[in-house]
Structure 1
Amino acid sequence: MDRKEPFQFGRAQMIPYGRQDINEDDIDAVVAVLKSDFLTQGPAVPRFEDALASKVRASHAVAVNSATSALHVALAALDVGPGDLIWTSPITFVASANCALYCGADVDFVDIDPRTYNMCANALEQKLHKAALNGKLPKAIIPVHMSGQSPDMHRISELVADYGIHVVEDASHAIGAEYKGTPVGDCAHSAITVFSFHPVKIITSAEGGMATTNNPRLAERMAMLRSHGVTRDPSLMRGQPDGPWYYQQIDLGWNYRMTDVQAALGLSQLSRLDEFVQARNEHADRYDELLADIPIGLPNRLPESRSAFHLYVVRLQTDNAMAHRSVFEDMRNAGIGVNLHYIPVHVQPYYRDLGFSWGDFPQAETYYQQAMTLPLFPGLTSQEQEKVVETLKNSILRRNATPAATA
């Protein structure tokens, strides 16, 4: 076997919506760490950080054990706390909002652009105007790069700049994506950008996340917060160290460290990032062709962005929950692991207890009633794609679905 070929571990009968791609180089990298002196807090993590920062053209990168942890330390480094307000998108995983609650802050949402499913810049502008009049501006906003495509970060950053609002990009889906010809993660329009390395994401470290920034103070603080708020750097201590054993806790942090085992896998995977993103875009192109004559809404690609295509989301034109569910169940029953990304955060029971309700963010709710994520990952075969499309076509035609409105 060519050492660069992915292992075939025997795919389950169901075609998953996402799947990691592991080859011998990845395994060799992990084994080398297992045979080394350091399983954690060794040299692999800084090597991964340096390589990723270079890849996305950021000055600093801070590795942690998940993107959720990265979001948490990002807000903490920005001094978000009780009495502060954070805005994010309702179409995201709950972590994008939960991270604010971890800091004791409050959360609100900005409705999505129905074309891209990202935070709508027009809705943001209107909400900022009202918030300024009411004296309830957020301290930070968290735009989400839904499916791997960047929001309109230039306009978003311009809108919040006059108010002194921090921007943290949740680019968990978007490592390897580009916006206006530069890599997502370069923080040209934000204080901090966050990536995820969960197995279904573009590259994986099994579990893991990374925060990039061009601000050395933020990088230093996030690095400290990921490790209990403890430092061994004399320049950061209050007073002189007692000896070479000395450390100080100078902030209240957490154990969010990434292990060297995870970093070794992530670093190995990073060498194939361009290959993975190219494969995902090619699969998305083929879906576009195969689905062109089927009455559904396809992903809308903006000319200023190149998506990493973590997800390929289609939309059925139906407000009928039973019809939506029936198509979903047809796909699952045929062995196709479709999914739904995401249930709007504001309608989760926990958030309804905080005062949110159905009807608060209509575009997000309409999206939820229509969306379906099709399988997309580098190892997806042509035969599997054809099965996905044929099954979807048959199910939709049986139910006489009509195209989704995406403008």
Structure 2
Amino acid sequence: MNNELAINGGVPIRDTYLSYGKQFIDEKDIEKVVEILKGDYLTTGPNVAEFEKKVAYYVGAKYAVAVSNGTAALHAACYAAGIKEGDEVLVPAITFAASSNCVLYCGGKPIFVDLDPQTYNIDVNKIEEKITARTKAIIPVDFSGQSIDIDKIMEIAKKYNLIVIEDAAHALGSEYKGKKVGTIADMTEFSFHPVKPVTTAEGGVIVTNSKEYYDKMMLFRSHGITRDSELMIENHGPWYYEQIDLGYNYRITDLQCALGISQMDKLDSFIKRRREIVKRYNDAFKELDELKTPFEAEFSNSGWHIYVIVLDLDKLSVGRKEIFEALQKENIGVNVHYLPVYMHPYYQSLGYKKGKCPVAEDLYNRMITIPLFPSMSDYDVESVINGVRKVINHYRK
């Protein structure tokens, strides 16, 4: 139990702490991993290709390249896109830093675009004003699992001859206009961190319909080394390989992919439960004028990686920090997703300034992420609802 006294008499809503997100691992997952531990392969092996095929088939893409984590997947996509020094890439202001760090890794410059105040995704109406002769690509993000308006973004990209890398780290299993996210952008990245829709402990994948991008990323994830005789300068024999470009060791293990294969079998049930919880939250919080629940565009059917409430601070007697801490004292795990990337000290040291994206900065000051994961019990859900109600009612003006 939280040792600090909760509000209204000091008795927390919950007697145990509830994390904001958590993986779900069952006996089938464990058995699959143990099977690999007893087998011949731990690192790269047959389960990697099987996992790639399973993800590609699920989303409807031709190719998938699995790598060690979601950031590596974004880096691989930027490499395949040919991003280099002097290139500019448009990125939404609020996202995890990896969405723009991958541009820096390739020598490019992230250009931050403000958010749609309803969806919290990149504002498609502000994209064109950021495009210059140096713009090479757009990396839109499916924030919280809600799909971006990818058709509009692709239309803009085609007009200016840009490459689109969709950061769908939150959105495996989400839908856009009735189809799974992952087949419209030039490349789409998914993450398998433990709190994501499914997990491989750490891991990521890029799906694409382009054989050219696929081949480049397969080379990139393994030191730029090939055994393909058609690509090599020489061939000394069946043992021979050549490094033909500068790649990285971004390989994922057979062990991780075995877990991923098992997890993929549960993805639809995970998403069903996430959507059930979101509906209960939405229904319960309608009565609270002091906060805004997530808005979902009609073209999106989110898998709901996270659930973000946005406070109306004009109707509360305290700021976001006090609300956040009060919820923690109720043993409800909360988080904030995310600080606008350009406000991080490292980006400030690169010359980025605050005030660039006013919608994003205002949202950041009022956002709180509350618990959402498939293994939440009905009691867990109700305790979160009651905790939010308790805190908001206590600090209502």
TM-score of the pair, normalised by structure 1: 0.91
Residue matched to 1:222:
217
Alignment of 1:198 onto 2:180: no
Q: How many angstroms apart in 2 are the aligned matches of 1:184 and 1:150?
A: 7
Alignment of 1:252 onto 2:246: yes
Q: How many angstroms apart in 1 are the aligned matches of 2:142 and 2:15?
A: 29
Match of 2:75 among 62, 65, 72: 72
Q: 1:179 to 1:75 in 2, by over 3 A?
A: same
Q: How many angstroms apart in 2 are the aligned matches of 1:182 and 1:346?
A: 33
Residue matched to 1:3:
none
Amino acid of the residue matched to residue 387 of structure 2? T
SS in 1 for 2:338: coil
**Residue 245 of structure 1: CA displacement?**
0.4
Residue matched to 2:7:
none
Alignment of 1:175 onto 2:172: yes
**Residue 398 of structure 1: CA displacement?**
2.2
**Residue 127 of structure 1: CA displacement?**
2.5
SS in 2 for 1:168: strand
Residue matched to 2:149:
152
Q: How many angstroms apart in 2 are the aligned matches of 1:321 and 1:399?
A: 5
**Residue 322 of structure 1: CA displacement?**
5.5
Structure 2 counterparts to residues 53-72 of structure 1, below 5 A:
53-72=56-75
Percent of aligned pairs sharing the same letter: 45
Q: How many angstroms apart in 1 are the aligned matches of 2:190 and 2:16?
A: 30
SS in 2 for 1:107: strand
Residue matched to 2:276:
282
**Residue 40 of structure 1: CA displacement?**
1.1
Alignment of 1:238 onto 2:233: yes
After the TM superposition, which segments of 4 or more aligned residues of structure 1 sit over 3 Å from their partners? 319-322
Residue matched to 2:381:
385
Match of 2:126 among 123, 126, 140: 123
Amino acid of the residue matched to residue 219 of structure 1? Y
Structure 2 counterparts to residues 18-37 of structure 1, below 5 A:
18-37=21-40
SS in 2 for 1:139: strand
Indicate if the aligned counterparts of 2:68 and 2:252 stay in contact, CA closer than 8 A: yes
Q: 1:77 to 1:359 in 2, by over 3 A?
A: same
Residue matched to 2:330:
334
**Residue 238 of structure 1: CA displacement?**
2.2
**Residue 13 of structure 1: CA displacement?**
2.7
Amino acid of the residue matched to residue 340 of structure 1? V
Q: 1:330 to 1:224 in 2, by over 3 A?
A: same
Alignment of 1:355 onto 2:351: yes
SS in 2 for 1:234: coil
Indicate if the aligned counterparts of 1:169 and 1:192 stay in contact, CA closer than 8 A: yes
SS in 2 for 1:87: strand
Residue matched to 1:8:
none
Q: C-alpha offsets along residues 143-200 of structure 1, whole Å, 9 cap, x if unaligned?
A: 00000011111111101211111000000000000101111012x2x11000000000
Q: How many angstroms apart in 1 are the aligned matches of 2:298 and 2:90?
A: 26
**Residue 354 of structure 1: CA displacement?**
1.5
Indicate if the aligned counterparts of 2:29 and 2:259 stay in contact, CA closer than 8 A: yes
User: What is the root-mean-square deviation in Å for CA atoms of aligned residues?
Assistant: 1.5
What are the ranges of 5 or more consecutive residues in structure 2 without an aligned counterpart?
Answer: 1-13
Indicate if the aligned counterparts of 1:89 and 1:111 stay in contact, CA closer than 8 A: yes
Q: How many angstroms apart in 2 are the aligned matches of 1:351 and 1:37?
A: 45
SS in 1 for 2:292: coil
Q: How many angstroms apart in 2 are the aligned matches of 1:294 and 1:391?
A: 13
Residue matched to 1:5:
none
Indicate if the aligned counterparts of 1:323 and 1:399 stay in contact, CA closer than 8 A: no
Q: How many angstroms apart in 1 are the aligned matches of 2:15 and 2:157?
A: 47
**Residue 12 of structure 1: CA displacement?**
10
**Larger CA deviation: 354-363 vs 206-215:** 354-363
SS in 2 for 1:289: helix
**Larger CA deviation: 319-328 vs 169-178:** 319-328
Number of residue pairs the alignment of both structures matches: 382
